[in-house]
Structure 1
Amino acid sequence: MNLIYYFFGTRCQAVPERLFVPGSGQGNSLSKTGALVAVLATVLASAAVPFAVAGELEGVRATSFRAGSSDVDRHRSSRETPTVTAIRRASPSVVNLHGQKTLRNSAASHAGAVGDVAKQVNGMGTGVVIDSRGYVVTNYHVVEDVYEINVTLHNGETTRADLVTSDPSSDLAVVKLRGSGPFETIPQGHSDDLMIGESVIAIGNAFGYVHTSTVGIISALHRDIPVNETQSYHDLIQTSAGINPGNSGGPLLNIDGEIIGINVAVRVGAQQIAFAIPIDQVLETVNDMVTRHNDRRFVIGLRGTSDRAGGLRVVDLNDGGSAQQGGLKPGDRVLKVQDRSVKTPLQYALSVLDATPGQKLRMEFDRDGEVYETFVATLPNSGSTSDPTASLAWQVIGVAVRPASDSFTRRMNSQLSTSYRGGLVITDVRSGSAADEQGIQVGDVLLGIHSWQTSNLSDLAGILEHPEIQSGPNAKFYVVRRDKTLYGHMQLASQTGTSRR
C-alpha cells in the first residue's frame, strides 16, 4: 500500500497514499502510530555559480570597475528576470517558524528504542504576513502542540509568535508576531484564474534553510488528496516547484510575486509533485476563523461582503446590535475601522481583531456618495452560541476549548504515570472571567474540574450540567502548561444568575 508521510523534523507517520506534509506538525494524524525515520537532503548543482556583485550590494555601488553604465544596465537587465523581481517583492513578508514539541515514539525499534518513549522533536515551517500588525497565516500542523513558536524574519531578526486561532480540518492557523511592527504584508493574488503551465515560485524554511526559493510550473489544478480516514485536502494546486520539510505554510507565488497558494504537501518518492491550498480558499477560511474568534469575545452585529467600489458593503445588521445603534444601515460601505482601511470581509475581521469587549471603534462609511463617521461598541459576548457546551464553557468558566490531540494524551500518561483519557486545549479566554482571574492562558490544556476529568467535550458538558457546578462553586481545576501540571481554584459563574464579567 502507498503511504502518506507527515513530517515534523525527522519524525514521520505512515497513513494511506504516499504523501507527506512538509511542515513541523502532524495535524489530525497524530492519533495514528508513527514511525521514526531520518531524512537527509543533499542538493547538488549541475554547475558552479560564482558569487558576484551586481549593481548594489549592502549599499555599495559597483561603479569603480564598470566600463560603462549602458553595459552594466544591459547586463543587469538580463539577470534581473521576472523571477528575481517576484522573489524580491514577496520575501520580506515571509517568516520562518521554529519550535519544539514532545512526540511519543511507539514504533522506533529500528532506531534502537525499546517500548514507548517521549522525544523532543525540532520542528520547522513557514508563514506569510497578511496584516502589518504581525498577523501570519501558516499551516495548523506547523504550530500544533508547539509551546514556543520562534520566528526568524526576512532581515535575520528573531522574535516569537502566539497562536491566535486555528482550524485543524482545513490545516490552517493564524499566529501573531511579537513586536510593534509594522511588518510588510504579502502581495495578494487570486487562484480562480490560474493556468496550467504558468510559472510559480515557492519560498520557505526548507530543511531549516531559511528563505529557500524554488521555481516550477502549475502542473494541475483541482486535486483532491486523501490524508487519512477522516481528513483530506480538496481542490489543491499541483506544482513542480521544489517543496521540502519546512516549506509548509509558505507561499506559492505567481510570476508577479503575488501569493496564489499556501504550500502544504509533497508526494514522497516522486519528483516535482507538490501541492498548495489555493489562496482564495485560504482567505475565505481564515476570514471564517477570525470572525468566529471575534464573535466569541464580543458582538458588533454586522455582516458584509466585498464591494467593487471599495469598502465592505453592509449586508445585514443584528436588530438592536451596536452597529445598528451606531447608525449603520444595509447598503452602507464601511471604508475604515479605527485607522485601518477595509476592502474585504477578512480585512474587516482583522481590523477588529485587537479590539476588547466594551471598546468603542471608530468607523468611517460611505452612504450615497457621502462619507460619515460613527462609533460602534464591541458588546461583551454573553456566551450565546449554537453549541450548548461551548456556550456554558464560555459563560461559566470563560474559555473556548477544543479536544487535545491523542499524542498529547499518550505523552501525559507516560510522563505522569496516569490514565488520562484526554484533555481540552484552551483556545480563547474571556476577559474578566473566572479563568482569566486565575491566569489560565491560551494553549493550556484543561485536564479536570473537581474530581472529574475533562477528557472531551461530552465530559465537560456533563460537569457543567452537574448540580454542584450549576450553583457556581469554588472549583479546583487542573491544567497542563508546557509539560507542567498546575492546579488552582476558581469561583465559577452561577448558571442561575448573570455571567461573570
Structure 2
Amino acid sequence: MTAMSPVAVSFQPAKTVLRLSTMALCLATLLFLSLSAKAQSLPDFTELVEDNSAAVVNISTVSEPDPRGARGAPFSQREFEQLPEFFQHFFGGPQSPYGGGSARPRRSMGSGFIVSEDGYVLTNNHVVEGADEIMVRLSDRRELQAKLVGTDPRSDMAVLKIEDDEPLPVVKIGDSSELEPGEWVLAIGSPFGFDYTVTAGIVSAVGRSLPSENYVPFIQTDVAINPGNSGGPLFNLDGEVVGINSQIYTRSGGFMGVSFAIPIDDAMNVFRQLRDEGEVSRGWLGVLIQEVNRDLAESFGLSRPRGALIAEVMPGSPAEEAGLQSGDIVLSYEGEPIQLSADLPPRVGRTPVGEEATMTILRGGEEKTLKVEIGRLPADEGAGATSAEPSQPSAGPLGMSVEPLPEEVAEKLDVPGGVLVTQVGRGPAFEAGIRPNDVITELNRKPITDMNSFREAVNSLPSDKAVSVRIIREGRATYLVMKP
C-alpha cells in the first residue's frame, strides 16, 4: 500500500493542469463569442444603401461665363475655393474638360434627393446659386431638366422640381429632433464628382450654431463630407433622412472629421413654405444677445452660466413692445430651457409669425414671465446722453478716462445717455475689454446717463465680485465683465 502513495500523488498536478487548460479554453471561447457579437452588432449599411440610392440625385448646373474671367469648376465657387490646389487644377484648369477660361460657361456640381412623387427635390442653395440651367441625374441614368421653385439663402436651401413619365423614387423623411450624439448616420452624394459615394459615421453633436447662420441648429457629424456632397441626404439606421449635408470645417479643403447638416425638420419647414408661398418667413424677436459666461453669471446673480443675455433691444421690435430690456437674461422659451445663447434664435425662428410666445427672464435677480407676439424676421436684420457741462476727463480706479457723450453721438446711437471712453490704461477696464471710443451705458446694473451717474456707480462698486458693464461699440451693444 505504501508503494502506491508516490504514484497517487504524482497524478495531482496533471489533473490541475488539465482543469486550468479547460478553463482557459472556456475563457478563450467566451472572449471569441463576445468579440463576434460585437462585430455582428456593427451596422451593415448595404440594405440601407440599396433601398435609398435611387432617390438620391446628382445635380449639375451651367451658368453664363463670368465676365470677370473666373474659371469654371464642377463645384460652386465657395466649394471650389476650398479644394486643394491639385483638385483645383484637375477640375478647373485651362485644359480641363469641366471648365476653362472666361469664354466658357461655368459649371457646378452637387447632390440632392427627391422628397415627393410629383418630383420635388431638395438641395443646397449654393449648389444652384446663379445657375442658368439645372440638370438632375438619377441612379438609373435618367437626366431631367429641373425648374428652380425657390431658394432660402439664410438656411442655404433650394427646392427644385422635375417631371417624368416614369415613377420617381422618394426618400423616407425622419425626425431630426430624435437624434442623439453617438448615433450612426450615413451620407450618399457625389464628392469630387464621384457619383453615389457612401460614407458613414456618427452624430457628433446637435443644435450647433455657426457664425454664418444663427437660425439653423446644425447637426454635427464625423461623416466624410467633401465638395460635391453638398445638398445630399443624411440617413439614420432606419433609412430615414434626418439632415441635408451642407457645410464642412476644413483647413485643407477636404474632410477633417467635422461636418454639418441641416436638420430635416427645419428643411421640410422651409420646403413647404417655398412650395406653397414662394418665400420663407421666420419668427423675429428683435434683440441682440450674447453668451453668459461664468463672470457674467456671477455679476447677474446666477448660480451657473446659462441663458441668453439681451445686450440690446431694437426700437419698434416685438421685444420692445413686450417690455424686454437690455440686461434681461432669457432662461426659457415656450417652456424649453435656454442653456446657451445659440438655443434661442432657432426656437424663435420656428415660431409662426403673429403667435404669442411665453418667456422666462431674469431681471434684477428675480425671475419674471413675459408674453411676446413674435414678428417676422426682416430680410436684412439690423440693429440700433443728455450731455452735461464739459468737464475734465475722469481717470478713476478702473484705469480709464471718460468724458460726456457728445449729443450728436447720442443721437446717432439712439441712446438716452452714457459716457464716452477716451483712454484706457492697464487696469480692470482694459482687462474687461473696454477700449477707447466705447460708450458706457450701464455699470453694475445701474444706468449711466451722464458723468455724475458714472461717478456714483464707480464709487459704489464692490471690491470682492465681478460686475457687468454694458458698452456700445460700432453701433452694437454688448456686456463685458469687470473685476474692480
Does TM, normalized by the shorter one, top 0.5?
no
Give the TM bin, normalised by the shorter chain.
0.3 to 0.5
Q: Which structure features the higher share of strand residues? A: 1
Hey, which of these two has a bigger chunk of helix by percent? Answer: 2
Which structure ranks higher in relative contact order (CA pairs < 8 Å, sequence separation ≥ 6)?
1
Give the TM-score normalised by structure 1: 0.39
Instruction: Find the structure with the greater CA-based Rg.
Output: 2
